[in-house]
Amino acid sequence: MRILIGVDAGASHTTAAVANEHGTVLVRSDGAPGAMHPGEAAAAAARIFETCRDALRKAEREVRGDVLMVGAAGVGREEERLALQAALEETELAPRVSVTVDGAIALQSAFGDAPGIVLLAGTGSVAWARLPGGGTTRVGGLGAVIGDQGSGYDLARAALRAAGLAVEGRGRRTALAGRILRALRLGGLPELVRWATTTEVPAVAALAPEVLAAAEEGDAVAGALVDAAADDLATHVRALAERFPRDAEVGVALGGSLLVRSDDYRKRVIARIVADVPTAKIRPETVDPVLGAIQLARTL
């Protein structure tokens, strides 16, 4: 019996699933971020390897599969994709290894070979579409400096700014300052400034649930930030929907940790998508990209 390994390697974590030849998932494991950064293929492959090895051990299998299918963030350029694939081949996790963009496994999971749009929001944000003609395209996914609007990082960064302004008396009063300081176990603004100058993107994005919680509790500043972020995510879908035939129904699926874990944020985003794209048909279930990786592994 063939053993298939499917991987979703993202900026905040990696999920690996081990499945049988029929695509039935036996076990899953979560591990460190496996997203690809230029020149860091070996490091990304090592993190993916550890997550896969843990999954194989849970499945009580030898530390090796027959097919390894990886969907990774950061492999949009062929140079990075090939580098990560070569590094994973060296791990000998499986004799057959394939690496593709994270959007490919998300689209496969949500729509198979049918057209549709997948909106993903976690640490970063991106939307992918398979068009009626079969081609794929995307918007977003430009990284923390240029893009990632509506993502966990983008939302948390805006909240940090609002909290700083409120503490200094230059902005509206908000519960965000207290929530953020408590979450980070810091004593005040000087410590927060010091933390912000040395922290990395995933640590900032990890504060997004505090913003979402404050918005649900009625904090006006947090609510405005969440609404703006939801608008930003909806623009991803609108931009891709314009590439579909006029008046055609457009399937839309949502995924990513931020949209999976917060019902309130998901509802706000859906409301804006429906307002912007009247032909959108929202899938009720959230996207599980690792299942798409398993589906693609079955074809190899």
Segment 182-231, tens digit of pLDDT: 999 988 888 999 998 889 888 999 999 999 999 999 999 999 999 999 99
Segment 52-108, tens digit of pLDDT: 999 999 887 666 889 999 999 889 889 999 999 999 999 999 999 999 999 999 999
How far apart (Å, rounded) are the C-alpha atoms in residues 205 and 172? 22
Q: Does 262 map to a domain?
A: yes
* 237 and 133 fall within a common domain: yes
Q: Does residue 147 have a pLDDT over 90?
A: no
> Which residue range is the domain that position 197 belongs to?
114-286
The structural domain count of the chain equals 2
- Taking residues 143-169, what's their average pLDDT? 91
* 35 and 135 fall within a common domain: no
Angle among Cα 52, 71, 51 to the nearest 5 degrees reads 15
Neighbour tally for 62: CB within 10 Å:
9
Q: Does 158 map to a domain?
A: yes
pLDDT bin (cut points 50, 70, 90) of residue 155 is very high
Tell the burial category of 131 from Cβ atoms under 10 Å away from its Cβ (0-12, 13-18, 19+).
middle
* 22 and 126 fall within a common domain: no
State pTM to two decimals.
0.89
Chain mean pLDDT for the chain: 93
Write down the residue that tokens 């950061």 correspond to: 74
For 214, the 3-state DSSP assignment is helix
* 123 and 266 fall within a common domain: yes
How far apart (Å, rounded) are the C-alpha atoms in residues 173 and 61? 56
CATH of residue 141's domain is 3.30.420.40
Question: What integer pLDDT is reported at residue 235 of this predicted model?
Answer: 97
Query: Domain boundary at 94, 127, 144, which?
Result: 94
Type of residue numbered 167:
V
DSSP string, 61-122: --S--SEEEEEETT--SHHHHHHHHHHHHHHTS-SEEEEEEHHHHHHHHHHTTS-EEEEEES
Question: What integer pLDDT is reported at residue 79 of this predicted model?
Answer: 93
Q: Does 100 map to a domain?
A: no
Cβ atoms of 204 and 195 closer than 8 Å: no
Q: 3-34 b/e with 16+ CB inside 10 Å = b? A: bbbbbbbbbbbbbbbbbeeeeebbbbbebbbb
Q: Does residue 288 have a pLDDT over 90?
A: yes
Cβ atoms of 136 and 128 closer than 8 Å: yes
* 151 and 61 fall within a common domain: no
pLDDT bin (cut points 50, 70, 90) of residue 11 is confident
Edge-first strand order for the sheet with 136-140 is: 136-140, 125-130, 116-121, 250-255, 280-282
* 57 and 158 fall within a common domain: no
* 84 and 140 fall within a common domain: no
Segment 241-282, tens digit of pLDDT: 999 998 889 999 999 889 999 999 999 999 999 999 999 999
How far apart (Å, rounded) are the C-alpha atoms in residues 53 and 167? 47
